[in-house]
Structure 1
Amino acid sequence: MKIRELNERVLIEHITGLLTKPGKNTVVGAGDDDCAVLDIGGDDYLLATTDMLHRKTDFPQQMSGWQIGWMSVAVNLSDLASKGAKPLGILMAIGVPPDTELDFFDDIIKGMDTCARSFGTQVIGGDMDSHEELTMTGTALGLVNKDLLIRRSGANPGDLVCVTGNLGTAGAALILLKKNINAGQQILKSLFEPIPRIDEGMALTKTHAVTSMMDISDGLALSIHDLAKASGVGFKIYEDKLPVLMDVKKKLKGDELFEAVVFTGGDFELLFTVPPDKINKARNACSFTVIGEVIKEGIFIERSNGIEPLKGRGFEHF
């Protein structure tokens, strides 16, 4: 069997099956959530997450060096945000082609530094070597109080399904770039300079109102399936409640718009669940949209022509 015959989720399960079982200090281990969670004693858990990005698959040619650096840090911070963690620092391993212009490389470093500082942390080290393709591998460390940790596995039937920000903006940018259509600065910025919801994640956890949470960088539908699997529940999503920028609705229509909003990755938003009686408490933390409800089983989306199953499709590497 070749790796290409497995999708990313199946491959992750295969890998975790080969690893030694987590020790007593590992609260959340490999493949179980957005971050690994370690008990280091005291009042806080230490969280760690890592992401690898490549020039060909993750950085469109239109991106500047500064934007590449920003995104490389933001994607890691987004995982910390989904746990409500306060960032401690970023490690970045860079594989760089030797013929890269120094000015371009400097812009990458500046973008990394700006993103880290914008969210109260810094780049604290890393590694670098020669590589045929620009490759950025970031590792983010964070802390969360033990009483505030939120996992993917806490959703209950009856909870409301919520999402920060807008959906499909990054997906629209990808679709429009492929078609050589002018996307506009606001749409492009959402793809090239994503905003990890660090502040929103920390604020939401402090309300004690959220039962489960993750980020949706791989797409809404795939993330909903991940939450459903972790929590052992189902979901019902309402298409007419999905928050979408008016500019995106003007540029994309029909199936293309639905694809961008529901299945395409790149939006660094938080997907989370809240019991109805605590929704006002959650609203005091940050702005968000209620897009559905947790049900006992099955994953569905209600559209204008009826209810249909929501496929677990989104961005995967294999």
Structure 2
Amino acid sequence: MWSTIGQLGEFGLIERVTARFPGTDDVILGPGDDAAIVSAPDGRVVATTDVLVETRHFRREWSSAEDVGRKAAAQNIADIAAMGARPTALLVGFAAPPDVPVSWAEELAEGLRAECAFAGAAVVGGDTVSAGEITLAITALGDLEGRSAVRRDGALPGDVVAVAGSLGLSSAGFALLEAGVHGAADAGSDEADPGWLRCLGEHRRPRPPYADGPGAARLGARAMLDVSDGLVQDLGHVAQAGTVVIDLDSAAFVPEPELSEAVVLLHELGRTGRGALEHMLFGGEDHALAAAFPPEAELPPQWRVIGTVSAPGADGPRVAVDGASVSARGWEHFR
């Protein structure tokens, strides 16, 4: 029995991993040939790609291999949903040192499979290569099903801004991990299942509201994106693209109990940085969906109105909270 992927070899690893990936109705030809074939009944293909690098996007001491697989799939599929499309397929590039255990690669594949199954997509191919650190390059594909794509540049004055999904939990989970809290025992908790554990879970395995992307398109959303780098920073892209002002109402940001618990714990641990509102405004990697809708749109309960869109004044396109401009303090690579 081979214990590392170096011992198993490239083709043995590919055979072992791809056996875990079932097809779907969208897959005409899956892994095993020079390229996959995926149906595109709409006649257009929505495509996105993302790269995850060990220590930059995940740490093996913080997350299991299945966590990493689910997170890698989720953050790409969320981008497809944010265009108003239905996810169909993933292509996975996997680079790793030869001493990575075969079991780790298999668990990674299980995470990819499970998240794809949850979203209705399938892994259809990819590549493997030896490298000095684990790196995942994911390409996701989607189908618009005859709808117009929901881009970032469509917000109009008078629109309402709403969000579906959780805000701030992943950011708080990251702060807990940085504080050395990987589970209940690390915080000396007497509870078997304290609520703040959900924040760790949301960071390790984000749960984007995939179905609400196409749902928002059907509701008439004019602009949409997923919240990956912080709500204020991401909405800044919508404001700039649409040449509008987005004014958020702080009273609309009611933290979930688990987020409030995490903030209290962080304070007890001497981490007195962000409060709950700051995690919601500036934290990232929740992969919630934020969208601008016409004011007459009848939004279902999962869409929470958090602000409005107006025409820019002398200050130009911007994001404000309660009328006051705020600077983007989200994630940005190379800075």
Aligned to 2:309: 294
Aligned to 2:51: 52
The answer to whether residue 203 in structure 2 is matched with residue 191 in structure 1 is: yes
SS in 2 for 1:56: coil
- Structure-1-length-normalised TM-score: 0.80
Structure 2 gap segments, 5+ residues each: 1-38, 182-186, 188-194, 265-271, 313-317
Q: Deviations over 1:53-112 (max 9, x none)?
A: 011011132100111111111111010010111112100000111111111111001111
| CA contact 2:85–2:142 (8 Å) conserved in 1 | yes
Deviates more, 1:307-316 or 1:220-229: 307-316
Deviates more, 1:143-152 or 1:65-74: 143-152
Bigger share in helix: 1
Residues of 2 paired with 1:266 and 1:150: CA distance? Answer: 21
SS in 2 for 1:271: strand
Matches within 5 A, 1:1-318: 43-60=42-59, 61-181=61-181, 182=187, 184-207=196-219, 209-252=220-263, 256-257=274-275, 258-278=277-297, 280=298, 282-283=299-300, 287-297=302-312, 298-302=318-322, 307-318=323-334
Structure 1 residues 41 and 184: CA distance shift in structure 2, 3 A: closer
Aligned to 2:32: none
Q: Deviations over 1:210-262 (max 9, x none)?
A: 11101011110111100001111011111221242112123326851243221
Give the letter for the 2:319 counterpart.
I
Larger radius of gyration, structure 1 or 2? Answer: 2
- Structure-2-length-normalised TM-score: 0.76
Residues of 1 paired with 2:247 and 2:196: CA distance? Answer: 33
Structure 1 residues 198 and 251: CA distance shift in structure 2, 3 A: closer
The count of aligned residue pairs is: 270
SS in 1 for 2:153: helix
Deviation for aligned residue 1:41? 9.5
Residues of 2 paired with 1:79 and 1:251: CA distance? Answer: 27
Q: Deviations over 1:14-61 (max 9, x none)?
A: xxxxxxxxxxxxxxxxxxxxxxxxxx9974421110000011011132
Give the letter for the 2:289 counterpart.
L
Give the letter for the 1:294 counterpart.
V
Residues of 1 paired with 2:251 and 2:162: CA distance? Answer: 14
Residues of 1 paired with 2:251 and 2:303: CA distance? Answer: 15
Structure 1 residues 184 and 255: CA distance shift in structure 2, 3 A: closer
Structure 1 residues 110 and 147: CA distance shift in structure 2, 3 A: closer
SS in 2 for 1:225: helix
Residues of 2 paired with 1:111 and 1:231: CA distance? Answer: 37
Q: CA RMSD in A?
A: 1.9
Structure 1 residues 66 and 41: CA distance shift in structure 2, 3 A: closer
